[in-house]
């Protein structure tokens, strides 16, 4: 079978999923349908509906788009079946019921932003950086009942630099993911795929690192940890959703402060954890047990993101300035 004859249904929602769909379209593959989330209400009254990035691209290419509220709805299942897909591809979508993933004759494969079996879950890129990993990657695998546990088709390994934040790693994996999706489709077409069960790659269940969804409270900085842990935590959440803390400036009370960039300084000192040292120019250090975290860019509640030098122009010192 030629790639133009292979009927593909693509499923995805955010920016990360657009690149793979774009590669399929520009590569001449036959995408007969695109499944994405319903448009999201925006604005104060929710009166404006915002289409997903995948929908925006699909519409621009004249592709058929389906936006089911529930993936088990009979009307959606019948409409999906009418597309007569040979293969389904899932990138950054949601958990599929068996009636959906088991429909195509060649199966359904997923592109996941980690080296499975590590970092199964919703936020694999964030957790790899937060944990200080020096390597991550992307994986294509066939779907089965348990989430992110299917047989591995292909993987690509990607280094993580000490200065990379999650945004940088995300973009690297997104671009490589588009290439890997095409390679996986070609291998399936050629009949050369030799899937590997993830169980063969698991030495110990205790060594598996999860990648759960990240919430606001997840992003709060624990200043009792060491320099490296806090530094990795900040870059693992930058630029989104961003690590945060509460800044206390004497009698001015507390205000929420997001931190986007920082430097790590290892040294001994006699300051209290969370205490601030600054030259009121470019240096804004927060004391931790084995050194300092020097803040480079930040955002106060209700303000725009700014470089620390701009922040310090309006900063006033007091005897008990600190973060909590």
Q: From the first residue on, what is the mean pLDDT of each consecutive set of 10 residues in the chain (324 residues)? A: 91 97 97 97 83 98 97 96 98 95 97 97 97 98 90 97 98 97 97 94 85 96 98 98 91 88 97 94 95 97 95 78 87
Query: How far is Cα 210 from Cα 127, in angstroms, rounded to an integer?
Result: 8
Would you state the pLDDT for residue 251? Answer: 66
Would you state the pLDDT for residue 146? Answer: 83
Topology of the domain covering 217-323: 3.10.25
Residue 114 assigned ligand-binding role:
yes
* Spatial contact of 12 and 21, defined as CB atoms under 8 Å apart: yes
| Residue 151 in tokens | 């047989």
Query: How far is Cα 137 from Cα 179, in angstroms, rounded to an integer?
Result: 13
* Spatial contact of 129 and 153, defined as CB atoms under 8 Å apart: no
248 phi and psi, to 5 degrees?
Answer: -115, 120
Which residues fall within 8 angstroms of residue 19, CB to CB, at 6 or more apart?
174, 175, 177, 178
* Spatial contact of 142 and 153, defined as CB atoms under 8 Å apart: yes
Query: How far is Cα 259 from Cα 305, in angstroms, rounded to an integer?
Result: 9
What's the whole-model pTM score? Answer: 0.94
- The candidate with the shortest Cα–Cα distance to 299, out of 249, 261, 267, 270, is 261
Query: How far is Cα 94 from Cα 92, in angstroms, rounded to an integer?
Result: 7
Topology of the domain covering 7-207: Rossmann fold (3.40.50)
| Residue 189 in tokens | 């077409």
Rounded to 10°, the helix 53-60/15-26 angle is: 20
What ranges do the domains of the chain cover? 7-207, 217-323
| Residue 320 in tokens | 């008990």
Query: How far is Cα 108 from Cα 195, in angstroms, rounded to an integer?
Result: 13
Would you state the pLDDT for residue 43? Answer: 79
Cα 317 to the chain's mean position, in Å? 37
- Helical residues (DSSP H) of 27-165, grouped into ranges: 53-60, 74-82, 98-101, 124-130
| Residue 8 in tokens | 């593909």
* Spatial contact of 8 and 32, defined as CB atoms under 8 Å apart: yes
Residue 143 assigned ligand-binding role:
no
Task: Map residue 111 onto helix, strand or coil.
Answer: strand
| Residue 207 in tokens | 């060594």
| Residue 303 in tokens | 């303000």
Would you state the pLDDT for residue 202? Answer: 87
Would you state the pLDDT for residue 64? Answer: 98
Which residues fall within 8 angstroms of residue 194, CB to CB, at 6 or more apart?
none
Query: 44-49 long-range contacts, Cβ below 8 Å, gap at least 24?
Result: none
- The candidate with the shortest Cα–Cα distance to 139, out of 127, 149, 128, is 149
């Amino acid at each position: 079978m030629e790639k133009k004859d292979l009927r593909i249904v693509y499923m995805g929602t955010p920016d990360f999923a657009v690149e793979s769909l774009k590669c399929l379209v520009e590569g001449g593959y036959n995408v007969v349908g695109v499944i994405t989330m319903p448009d999201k209400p925006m604005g104060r009254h929710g009166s404006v509906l915002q289409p997903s990035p995948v929908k925006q691209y699909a519409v621009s290419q004249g592709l058929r788009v389906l936006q089911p509220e529930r993936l088990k709805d009979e009307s959606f299942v019948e409409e999906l079946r009418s597309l007569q897909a040979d293969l389904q591809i899932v990138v950054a979508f949601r958990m599929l019921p068996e009636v959906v993933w088991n429909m195509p004759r060649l199966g359904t494969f997923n592109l996941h932003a980690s080296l499975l079996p590590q970092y199964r879950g919703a936020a694999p890129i964030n957790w790899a950086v937060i944990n200080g990993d020096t390597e991550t990657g992307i994986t294509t695998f066939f779907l089965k009942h348990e989430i992110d546990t299917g047989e591995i088709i292909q993987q690509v390994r990607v280094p993580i630099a000490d200065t990379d934040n999650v945004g940088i790693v995300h973009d690297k994996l997104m671009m490589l993911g588009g290439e890997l999706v095409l390679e996986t489709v070609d291998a399936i077409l050629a009949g050369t795929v030799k899937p590997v069960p993830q169980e063969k790659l698991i030495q110990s269940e205790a060594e598996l690192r999860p990648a759960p969804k990240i919430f606001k409270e997840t992003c709060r900085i624990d200043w009792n940890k060491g320099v490296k842990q806090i530094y990795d935590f900040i870059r693992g959440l930058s630029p989104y959703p961003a690590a945060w803390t509460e800044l206390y400036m004497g009698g001015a009370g507390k205000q929420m402060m997001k931190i986007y960039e920082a430097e790590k300084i290892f040294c001994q000192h006699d300051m209290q954890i969370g205490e601030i040292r600054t030259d009121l120019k470019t240096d804004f250090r927060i004391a931790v047990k084995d050194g300092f975290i020097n803040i480079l860019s930040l955002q106060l509640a209700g303000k725009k993101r700014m470089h620390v030098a701009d922040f310090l122009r309006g900063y006033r010192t007091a005897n008990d300035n600190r973060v909590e």
